[in-house]
Structure 1
């Protein structure tokens, strides 16, 4: 009997025409790792019911997170926010966490995960952090890694990397500022920006600031293993 592939909910954005948008690279990465991607449109209702049928959740990148969600007024460098998307994704994260189902967050998705657990964000790292930051919004194609991150030993990310240092791509101006338990930091850039975390209380609850789905296109081993571990955890939750 053929083993059923896990259903992976993939969040989405809305383009300028009002159409649902998901970059193909996210879908391809889930498929390569052995999952079945299910696109979740912005404004979707019945979140709890949907999450009972999902085996895992992938939170993709996108616009800025509304600072009112972590108790701040908008900084002058804040970009476009999408409250309807924020509301849906926060509900998805909380519903999946309550069921201890796997969640992988990428860039904005990683930031939303942090806010869902009571954490805060830098609204603009260039205005709110030191002047000697690395380039965190690369001009090079996302398929190419540009800066290094240090990985905490004995973490899920370390298991995927097999080393204490990897090179990643980068495309953001917001970043994780403070985290709350049960989240723990698992990677940092050389300039001190938090680049990844995981939950100490969930089977697989991992977020990264970079875009591993783009690196999968160039067969980056760590990125592909990250998606494979995520899908494996989702398969176990079926």
Structure 2
């Protein structure tokens, strides 16, 4: 049997699909998990079912999104003054997904966070973040969505030797895409910073206290068919970790 990988669905109050609240998520996440021989399963926000979700899934993928994180995670001065440090609106996804993420971590099942999912993994474990990576880092490197198409590489990240990500990728550099305005800027006490962009922006984290808890700031799901195998290896090792558990 294929390991079941739960994937949090995103949420919109209204949009082109419906003028009423609905769930939606890009197909790339599901395709990447399936390509890695997993069985992807979308998870809606039924808080009372979190225990069932964790019991029935063998691993958890927290995908990207555009939601404001908890206010106390931000280091930006405007956030401290109560004016809001995130460019994004609050979403019911955040409170639900934070509880779901911790439930999966505490179960010992593998967790992969991508983009916003990485920021949530970090925030739950003492990392802090900025709502405007360009201003905070005073960088000329443009990380924002839409500057470079997500199907194209924007720069190379540097992967730290001795990390789980290095073991997965097998080398010190990897070309990646970029699509984020927010970013982690400090590490929690048990968080390993395993990859950085050329300007120092944190691009991957690992939670040392768990067997597999990996956060990736870029979007590897766009490169499952690429000649560069490093992106697909992330999903393959993640799904294999879930398979090993059952």
TM-score, normalised relative to structure 2: 0.89
**Equivalent of 1:134 in 116, 141, 145:** 141
Question: Which residue number in structure 2 is paired with residue 103 of structure 1?
Answer: 111
1:14 is aligned, of 7, 11, 18, to 11
> Shift in Å at residue 90 of structure 1?
0.6
1:60 corresponds to which of 42, 59, 63: 63
Give the Å deviation of 1:223.
Answer: 0.7
Alignment partner, residue 176 of structure 2 = 168
Residue 49 (structure 2) aligns with = 46
- Per the alignment, residue 27 of structure 1 pairs with 30
Name the CA distance, whole Å, in 2 between partners of 1:5 and 1:51: 16
- Aligned mate of 1:235, from 204, 218, 243: 243
Partner of 2:180, secondary structure, is coil
What's the counterpart of residue 39 of structure 2? 36
CA distance, structure 1, for counterparts of residue 126 and residue 91 of structure 2: 17
Select between 132-141 and 56-65 the one with higher mean Cα deviation: 132-141
Query: Contact 2:104–2:110 (CA<8 Å) still a contact in 1?
Result: yes
Shift of 1:96: 1.0
- Give the Cα separation in 2 of the matches to 1:45 and 1:119: 28
Q: How large is the RMSD of aligned CA atoms in angstroms?
A: 1.8
User: Does the aligned pair in 1 maintain the 2:85–2:130 contact within 8 Å?
Assistant: no
Whole-angstrom distance in 1 between the partners of 2:6 and 2:103: 13
Report the Cα offset of residue 217 of structure 1.
Answer: 4.2
Distance 1:75 1:160, change over 3 A: farther
**Mapped contact 2:71–2:84 kept (Cα < 8 A):** no
When the two structures are superposed, what TM-score results if normalisation uses the length of structure 1? 0.91
Q: Give 5+ residue unaligned stretches, structure 1.
A: none
Count of aligned pairs: 234
Instruction: Spell out, residue by residue over 1:85-114, the C-alpha distance to the aligned partner (whole angstroms, 9 max, x if none).
Output: 111111111111111110000000100111
Q: How has the CA–CA distance of structure 1 residues 50 and 67 changed in structure 2, closer, same or farther, with 3 Å as cutoff? A: closer
Structure 1 residues 219 and 25, CA gap change in structure 2 (3 angstroms): farther
Unaligned runs of 5+ in 2: none
Partner of 1:93: 101
Aligned residue for 1:214? 222
